Amino acid sequence: MNYDRSLIESSEMYARCICKTDFDVETVIVGFPGMGLTGAIAAQHISEKLELKTIGFIEGVAIPPVAVFLDGYLRHPYRIMGKKDLKIAVFIGESAVSPEAAYFISNAIMSWAEGHGAKEIITLDGFGYLNRKDEGKVYMVSEPEIKNKAEKLKIPPLKSGFIKGFAGAILNKTMISDIDGYAFLVGTRPELPDPGGAASLVKIINDLKELDINVETLIEQSESIKKKLSELALQTNEMSAGTPRQARKKSNFYT
């Protein structure tokens, strides 16, 4: 769809991308903290395994006033990762995007993508599943014009609903751009980090872009978390079973 771009208000003072390296990309992948941190974990993993370097960052008043340091060194909280001739750029965020900032940051990413020749923007995120069968299962949300990509990858679409926050904002931006925009969403539990869900997202990126990014470490982390949760649940049940009935009743002050 083509719209009159002059009708869209400029918002560079709120958020803009500063890029140190001038290069062309085909695919932009965005993974900011969301449900289960799946998108953020997946984006970081993709960046590490592809050995991407920091080539830019997002700045502006919409960016939270947070300084991030990793391994003792300062890092931009919203970074652009890339590498010459790879044609893939990954946006990594260290903090969740507030509803107020989502419009401006998505606009900055879209402007950067258009200026660097991107053909598609892929958002990685999670959703809180209602059916246990959806845990770790990836769905796709996109415009009707590019549903063939979902069919090619045999990814089911989510039938209906809405996507909140940054993921929803960037998808709205792609609908008024020539760049294809879609989201891969994995079923997850929102209260815990989910490396297993992130692994499912990375596998889809492997299939789509014909990459071979290893996800074994993410799967191992997922199994470790599940094991610790099982041990904690067992300990809690044992403690509850070992407490005398009368004592348990007295400790429950409000009933």
pTM equals: 0.83
Residue 162: what pLDDT?
A: 74
The tens digit of pLDDT for each residue in 135-158 reads 899 998 887 777 777 777 788 877
Residue that has been written with the tokens 């069968």 in this structure: 133
- The string of pLDDT tens digits covering residues 32-54 is 998 889 999 999 999 999 999 99
Which sequence spans correspond to the domains of the chain? 11-214
Query: Would you call 4 helix, strand, or coil by DSSP?
Result: coil
Question: Nearest CA to 167 among 240, 115, 222, 106?
Answer: 106
User: Dihedral (C-alpha) 230, 232, 238, 241: value to the nearest 10 degrees?
Assistant: -100
Domain 11-214 sits in CATH at 3.40.50.10900
Query: Between 226 and 116, whose confidence is greater?
Result: 116
Q: At a CB cut-off of 8 Å and minimum separation 6, what does 153 contact?
A: 140, 204, 207, 208
pLDDT score at 237: 66
